[in-house]
Amino acid sequence: MQVVILDSAAEVGEYAARTILRGVSAGSIKSLGVATGSSPLAIYKVLQRHRSPELSALNAFALDEYVGLAPDHPESYAAVIRREVTDRLGLDPRRVHVPDGGAADLPAACARFEAAIRAAGGIDLQILGIGRNGHIGFNEPTSSLASRTRVKTLMSATRKDNARFFADASQVPSLCLTQGLGTIMEARKVILVAQGKAKAQAVVRAVEGPLASMCPASVLQMHPQATFVLDREAAGDL
Ligand code: GLP
């Protein structure tokens, strides 16, 4: 695992975006795994400034989705990805895949999502944020380290953290679909970005702690090409 520590949150976004742009121009990134949350937003803004035909030709795979929000609900991850990724990067919406949290048969929707990743030849680079409890995607503590895309229950701490995007905590769905840790580990490269003091404990557990399902991000210790890109505050406890 490589750890890159930069002075500011803006530099974190810039560094991760530059890595992606290099891979896109070299032709080694054709499928990008994209994350929601506030941490990766700066990356998408930098990518938008460097739009190119190669960038707009990418396939994109979201990490996760809430169950039970209509796709036009502004906080559904389908809507967030459309706003922050598809529109900014000029992607073809037919190449952008988000697990279908509105499907009548959720396990079948998860299987379809995994099949779409396989059909695209896998994910070349996966962008990740990290939750304060060490979750990646919506793989909460105790997630199987080998898990695949599936239905998960959100922990109350995560629902509280995400309540800022909703009118109040009771409106945050309690179920979600998420790529599994096994799915994430199959991406050829992983870049995890974290900014701010609130992430410092999760970062130190992921980087220095034991490999444990209680800190799902610690599974990245086993990934051959994982990079943590951190600002000084997020790296403060290392
Ligand atoms: C959500 C997302 C995660 C994200 C996490 C942290 O739970 N499902 O993918 O990493 O929030 O979000 P933020 O970057 O806003 O702190």
- The predicted model scores a pTM of 0.97
Q: How confident is the model at residue 165 (pLDDT cuts 50, 70, 90)?
A: very high
Residue-wise pLDDT tens digits, 18-35: 999 999 999 999 999 999
- The closest alpha carbon to 42, from 103, 129, 109, 115, belongs to 129
Report whether pLDDT(56) > 90.
Answer: yes
For the domain covering 2-231, report its CATH number: 3.40.50.1360
Residue-wise pLDDT tens digits, 58-110: 999 999 999 999 878 999 999 999 999 999 999 999 999 999 999 999 999 99
pLDDT of res. 77 = 96
* Alpha carbons 154 and 116: distance in angstroms, whole number: 25
pLDDT of res. 71 = 75
| Cβ atoms of 30 and 121 closer than 8 Å | yes
Instruction: Name every residue whose Cβ is closer than 8 Å to that of residue 85 and which is 6 or more positions away in sequence.
Output: 34, 44, 60, 91, 96
If you measure from the C-alpha of residue 76 to the centroid of ligand 1, how many angstroms do you get, rounded to a whole number? 13
For the chain, where are the alpha helices, taking DSSP H only? 9-26, 41-49, 53-56, 77-81, 87-89, 106-119, 156-162, 181-185, 200-207
Q: How confident is the model at residue 188 (pLDDT cuts 50, 70, 90)?
A: very high
pLDDT of res. 238 = 98
Give the chain's largest Cα–Cα span: 46
List residues with catalytic annotation. 64, 133, 135, 140
- Within 6 A (CB) of ligand 1 lie 35-39, 63-64, 129-131, 137-138, 158, 162
Number of the ligand 1 atom closest to the C-alpha atom of 198: 16
* Alpha carbons 123 and 140: distance in angstroms, whole number: 22
Taking the CA atoms of residue 103, residue 67, residue 134 and residue 181 in that order, the dihedral angle to the nearest 10 degrees is: -10
pLDDT of res. 70 = 84
* Alpha carbons 30 and 56: distance in angstroms, whole number: 10
Q: Percentage of the chain with pLDDT > 90?
A: 97
pLDDT of res. 168 = 87
pLDDT of res. 46 = 98
If you measure from the C-alpha of residue 232 to the centroid of ligand 1, how many angstroms do you get, rounded to a whole number? 19
Where do the structural domains in the chain lie, given as residue ranges?
Answer: 2-231
Residue-wise pLDDT tens digits, 112-144: 999 999 999 999 999 999 999 999 999 999 999
pLDDT of res. 169 = 87
- The closest alpha carbon to 77, from 60, 95, 100, belongs to 100
Q: Which of 12, 36, 152 to mutate to test the pocket of ligand 1 (most atoms within 8 A of CB)?
A: 36
The tokens describing 186, both together, are 């199959």
Name the average pLDDT for the chain.
Answer: 97
Instruction: Name every residue whose Cβ is closer than 8 Å to that of residue 11 and which is 6 or more positions away in sequence.
Output: 231
Instruction: Name every residue whose Cβ is closer than 8 Å to that of residue 204 and which is 6 or more positions away in sequence.
Output: 237, 238
Report whether pLDDT(7) > 90.
Answer: yes
Q: Percentage of the chain with pLDDT > 70?
A: 100
